[in-house]
Chains A and B, each alone.
Chain A
Amino acid sequence: MAFDLEELYRTTYDAVVRFLYRKVWDADRAEDLAQEVFMRALAHQPEKPRSWVFAVAANIARDEARSAIRRRKHLVLLTHEPIASPAPLDNVEDDLEHEEQENEVKRALATLSPRDREVLLLWDAGLAYPEIAEQTGLALGAVGTTLARARKRLIAAHDEMETETQVEPRRAAARS
C-alpha cells in the first residue's frame, strides 16, 4: 500500500497531539512534538504508519521527559506555576475550573502503572487491540485485561480525589 502522509496527517494529527499532551502536559510542546513525529514519518515512510506514528510519539515523549527533568531546576527559577495555556483567557473562572479538573485527571493517571497508562492512552488515541499489543509487547489476549484494569483504576483514583476535595472544607472548618 502506498504511503499517504497527507491522509495519515489528516486522520491522526489530533490524536497524536492529545496522546503527547497527556505525556508532556503542555499544549504547545505537544504540537511541536507532533510536527516532529510527522516529519520523521515523511523521512521513513513506514509500512504500518499508524502504529509507527504512535510508537515514535511515545519515544519522543520519553526523551522529552528526560530533558524536562534536566531543565526543571531552571524552570522553577523562572516561574512559580506552569502556564496551562498560552491563549488569552476570556473567562477566568471557567479556565480555572477546567484546570482543576484536568489536574485531578492528571494525578489519577499518574497513579496507574506505566503499562496500564500506556495501554489506556493508546486505546484512547484510536489504536486497535492488535496495534496496542504490538507496540506494548503484550499478548493480544492481555490487552483487554490491562485495559479493563486501567479504566477501573483511573476512575477509582479520580473518585478518591473528589472525595478528598469534598472532605477538605469540613476539615478546614473544624480546624478554624
Chain B
Amino acid sequence: MRWRPRPKLSLVVRPHVPEEEFHAYSDGEMSSAQHAEIAEHLLACLICRSMFGEVQGVRSRSVLLLAIASPRVIKRPAFPAVPARTGRVKRPWLGLIAASIAIVGVSTWLAVQPVPANQPTPRLATAFVAPTLFARVGTALDAANGGAVLTSDQRTLTLASRAVVHPRVVGPMPSFTPVRRMRPLEPLAEIDPSADWELISWDAAMALAQGSIARLEGYPVSAVRIQRSSSGGRPTFLVRHQLADGRSLWVVEGPVEDVGPLHRLLQASGLSMSMPLRGTPDYVGSDDAPRRTVRVVTIAAYLPSDSLNVMVGRLTLK
C-alpha cells in the first residue's frame, strides 16, 4: 500500500460516531486507542455529545428496569467446605475385615446364650430375620405349659426376640411444638375494641359486596364483619369460618390501602397470615377523578402460614 502523508489534525474530518459504538464506549468495551479517539471526537462534536447523552440515558434506564426484575433478597448459602485431600490411601479391604470380625463376634455371642431345655435352639439366620415368629413361639409355649407363665429366663430366646416382647415406649419428641390454642375472643376485639367493625348478616354483606365476597369453599361461615370505607369505596370484609375442630379462620378482603394496616395489626396479635391474593384493579369515585383500587384477600388464623398459603389457592376473586 502506498504511503500517504498523514493530514494535519485540523483537517481530519471524522464522521459522527455510530450509536452502537457509544454503547460499547459507555460499557468500557473499547480498546484504549478507540476510547481515546472517541473521547477526542466528543470534545469537538456537539451532535455526538448530544447523542452520547441519550445513549447514557438509555443505558442507565435499562439498568434500572432490570434491577426491578430481580429477586428482592438473594439468600446465599455458605460455601460448602470441601475437605482437602491429604493423600490418604484408600484401603477397601479394611472394611471387609472389620465386617467379618463383627459377624464372627455376634455369632459367637449368640451361640453361648442360654437356651431353655424344652425349646429347640434357633438357627442363627432365623434369629435375625424373624423375631416376631419367636415371640409367637414363646406365647405358644406358655399355652402348651397349661397356662403356666414361663420365667423371663425361660422366655429369653435371642436379643432380637426380646426387643419384640418388650417394645420400647417412645415419649414425645423434645422438639414437639404444641398446637397454639384458639384465643377466646376475636383478634380485632383484643387489638382495637374501638374499631368500627359492624356485625352483619351474610345476605346483607352480599348485597354490600354486589354479590361477590371471597370465602373458602367447604367451611361454614360463622360471622361476617365489615368496616365501611371512608372514601366511599368497597368496605373491608372479615368473614369468619368454622373449622371442623372448632377453631376459627378469618378471610380478610378489601381495598389494599385498608387491608395493608389491618394485615399488620393481625400479624402483631400473633395470628398467622397467608400470602395476599390480588384481584383485578377497579376504579371508584367520581367520573372526573376516578381512583384506582386493588382488591386484596388474605387469610388469618392460628395455623402455620404454610397451611394458610395452601388454603389461599381455594379462594376465588371474581
Contacts and interface: CB of A to CB of B under 8 A. Distances in A.
B256 interface: yes
Interface in B238-272: 256-257, 259-260, 263-264, 267
Interface of A: 5-6, 9-10, 13-14, 17-18, 21-22, 27, 30-31, 35, 42, 78-81, 83, 85, 87-93, 95-96, 98-99, 101-102, 105-106, 108-109, 120-121, 123-124, 128-129, 143-145, 147-148, 150-152, 154-155, 158, 168-170, 172-173, 176
B72 A85 contact: yes
A105 B256 contact: no
Nearest to A99: B278
Given A88-B273, A129-B27, A169 B72 contact: no
Given A18-B71, A155-B58, A90 B79 contact: no
B20 A81 contact: no
Nearest to A155: B61
Contacts of A108: 65
Given A17-B74, A105-B66, 9 more contacts: A6-B79, A18-B71, A22-B70, A78-B313, A80-B313, A92-B296, A96-B278, A148-B20, A172-B290
B37 interface: no
A26 B310 CA distance: 17
Contacts of B316: 80
List 10 A-B pairs, minimum CB-CB distance, nearest first: A79-B313, A27-B71, A144-B24, A144-B20, A151-B62, A105-B69, A92-B260, A145-B20, A172-B283, A148-B23
* Chain A interface, DSSP helix/strand/loop, else mixed: helix
Nearest to B25: A144
Interface residues of B, number: 55
B58 A151 contact: yes
B69 A144 contact: no
Nearest to B71: A27
A169 B292 contact: yes
A151 to B, nearest CB: 4
Nearest to B23: A148
B69 A109 contact: yes
16 contacts: A13-B76, A21-B70, A78-B313, A80-B316, A92-B256, A95-B276, A96-B256, A96-B296, A102-B69, A144-B20, A144-B21, A148-B58, A151-B59, A152-B58, A158-B65, A173-B283
B98 interface: no
Nearest to B317: A80
A95 B179 CA distance: 30
Given A27-B71, A101-B68, A79 B312 contact: yes
A3 to B, nearest CB: 12
Contacts of B290: 169-170, 172-173
Interface in B59-85: 59, 61-63, 65-66, 68-77, 79, 82
B188 interface: no
A104 B59 CA distance: 18
A124 B23 CA distance: 13
Contacts of B24: 129, 144
B305 interface: yes
